[in-house]
Amino acid sequence: MAISRWLAVAAVAGLTMTAQAAALKSIARNPYIGAIVTDADGGKVLVEVNADAPGWPASVCKLMTLMVVLDHLDKGTLHLNDMVHVTKEAARVGGSQVWLKENEEFTVDDMLYALMVKSANDVATALAIHVAGSKEAFVALMNQRAAALGMTHTRFSSEHGLPPSAGQQPDVSTARDLALLSLSLVKRPEVLRYTSTRVKDFRGGVTELRTHNHLLGFVDGVDGLKTGWWEEAGYSMAITAKRAGRRVIVVILGSANRLARDKAAKELLARGFASLPPLPPPPPVAAATNAIAVSNAPASMAPAAPVSAGQRSNWKPMAITVVVVLAIGIAIGMLLRRRTE
């Protein structure tokens, strides 16, 4: 086990050094470099294929950007209604973006929607500088958080996941490590508020945010998490779905084709849900049901005692006596009335 871990770390290092060459060569594979399916309730691995193979996760890195921002919200050093000031450095970032302008300001909440829905790289940089003072300091926080989560084969070099500039290293991770990150994130309901959004207005409706996750709204239960792509890295995805109260996480790293990635994600979701262990049976309720039935049943009447022959023969004299007494009472009443008249 230790040897395999060492080999995986060595592969990460080798992949990083390879990326520092003047021209990056594609590492994408068909159907993917690696994949994993986990049960979100406890993290049990349900399916895995080369889950420790390293790759370049591209914008899936933004899940860690989100995590670091949420950590600061938890500490109270940041608030959702705080205004994020856009610096010149952030406004210059390209790729998928919302075209931030220097000195614009948006709330942290709006920025998080742009980060997760649009996968805006300029927003990732603006948030990083706002939270940590610089991109470098923020990336250090990302790596610290990765270590705390046990993401031993991950090394972040950017806050957004873009291809490395000259002299920079790419972000490196594995399907297993990204599953650990996803597992931690889905425990927070506010995360799914952002990742389940398909379309949202930004900048007062001037800019529309539209998700890159083509499974949202089309595959049963899917409500996150993040996609990523650049040409040499291939198409990656961390996805989650909830069905019948149970949640599964799928991570695909480095697919050569977007449609193949999405198809594989749907298939792995189906395999994941089919592989979930059965839920324990509910506690027996038969005894309680019987008690309720007995308590609600009408009270039974005891059978009347049988009448003897002697009792049946004595009823006539008693009846005659009652009639005579009633007649005498009526006669006396009539005499008294006549006297008073």
Could you read off the pLDDT of 130-140 as tens digits, one per residue?
999 999 999 99
Position 189 in a domain: yes
Residue 128 pLDDT more than 50? yes
Position 200 in a domain: yes
Backbone angles phi, psi at 215, to 5 degrees: -90, -20
Residue 146 near residue 68 (C-beta atoms within 8 A): no
Residue 248 near residue 276 (C-beta atoms within 8 A): yes
- pLDDT value at residue 1: 41
Position 45 in a domain: yes
pLDDT digits (tens, 9 = 90+) for 265-297: 999 999 999 999 888 888 887 655 554 554 555
pLDDT digits (tens, 9 = 90+) for 208-255: 999 999 999 999 999 999 999 999 999 999 999 999 999 999 999 999
Residue 144 DSSP label? H
For the purposes of burial, counting CB atoms within 10 Å of the CB of 232, is it exposed (0-12), middle (13-18) or buried (19 or more)?
A: middle
CA angle 142, 185, 50 (to 5 degrees): 80
Position 196 in a domain: yes
CA distance 183 to 198: 21
Give the range among 77-86, 99-108, 231-240, 311-320 with minimum mean pLDDT.
311-320
Position 30 in a domain: yes
Position 304 in a domain: no
CA distance 325 to 19: 123
Other beta carbons within 10 angstroms of residue 157's beta carbon come to 19
Domain count, the chain: 1
* Dihedral sign of CA atoms 195, 197, 203, 208 in order: positive
E strand intervals along the chain: 34-39, 45-49, 54-55, 83-85, 105-107, 173-174, 199-202, 207-210, 222-230, 234-243, 246-255
pLDDT digits (tens, 9 = 90+) for 153-176: 999 999 999 999 888 899 999 999
Domain span at residue 96 reads 2-275
- pLDDT value at residue 224: 96
Position 302 in a domain: no
Q: Which residues contact 194 (CB under 8 A, 6 or more apart)?
A: 66, 112, 113, 115, 116, 117
Q: How confident is the model at residue 334 (pLDDT cuts 50, 70, 90)?
A: low
Position 318 in a domain: no
Residue 312 pLDDT more than 90? no
The CATH code of the domain that includes 107 is 3.40.710.10
